[in-house]
Structure formats: structure tokens, C-alpha cells
Amino acid sequence: MFDHISIGVADIARAKAFYDAALEPLGYRCLSQRTTMLGYGRDAVALWIEEVERPVVPDIKSGLHFCFAAPSRPAVDAFHAAALWAGGRDNGAPGLRAEYDPAYYAAFVVDPDGYRIEAYHGPAGA
């Protein structure tokens, strides 16, 4: 459906340290790096992160979050641990989320700029 998503952050170096660590267990890496912009993906950039003057103000109750596909449950676990190590805040430990689907395995964190992100492994389209 989407070709890519772009988000704005206050500090590109801080964002790079966080996303390099958090996304590596999921098989994503920084494919493009410019002075104020980063592009992450597996084979092509799907997430652009740009240092901007006025990032979106975080709102935990907005419902906005980004979900990354994980190749396995251990990858979800590693994403969560790496994200916390890199400065993220816990927003839901790794585990099954039967309220979504009996096989929906996910973990949730909040990045240093307040974006809610998730890693998910389970049935397609759940």
C-alpha cells in the first residue's frame, strides 16, 4: 500500500543510534544517509527520518504508531531489548496479543522523539 513513510525528529544523530539498534534485529538497516535525513529498509527505503525544525508533538493517546514486520518471535524479543538499550521506553513487552489474533506476537516501544513503534510476527494481515 505505502511506498514509504517519513517522520521528523529533533536530533538526527540520536535517531540514527536508536533506529540502527532497534531495527537491526528485524533485518532493516540504514540504506541512505544524508546530513539531516536517514532512509531505512531491507532492499529499498521504506522509512525516511528527517531532522526538522518542528517535529510532530508526541501524543500517546493519538493512536499513531508504526509497525515493523519481524521475521520471527526471537527477532521481536531482540527488537524490544535493543530499543530499550538504545534509549527507547517500554510500551508493551514482547508477547502474544490474543485480542488481535491468537498468533499475533508483538512488542511495543516509544522512541526518543515520542513515536510509538511496534515489531510484529504472526499471520499476514492480522
Q: Please, which pLDDT band fits residue 33 given cuts at 50, 70 and 90?
A: very high
In this structure, which amino acid lies at residue 45?
V
**pTM recorded for the entire structure:** 0.93
- Residue 111 grid coordinates: 522512541
State how beta strands 45-51 and 5-9 pair. Answer: parallel
In this structure, which amino acid lies at residue 11?
D
Residue 42 within a domain: yes
Range of the domain at 69: 5-52+63-121
Cell 532493516, residue?
28
pLDDT, one tens digit per residue, over 61-107 is 888 999 999 999 999 999 999 999 999 999 999 999 999 999 999 99
CATH code of residue 77 = 3.10.180.10
Bridge partners (DSSP) of residue 41 are 29, 45
pLDDT, one tens digit per residue, over 87-100 is 999 999 999 999 99
How many domains does one find in the chain? Answer: 1
Residue 82 within a domain: yes
Residue 37 within a domain: yes
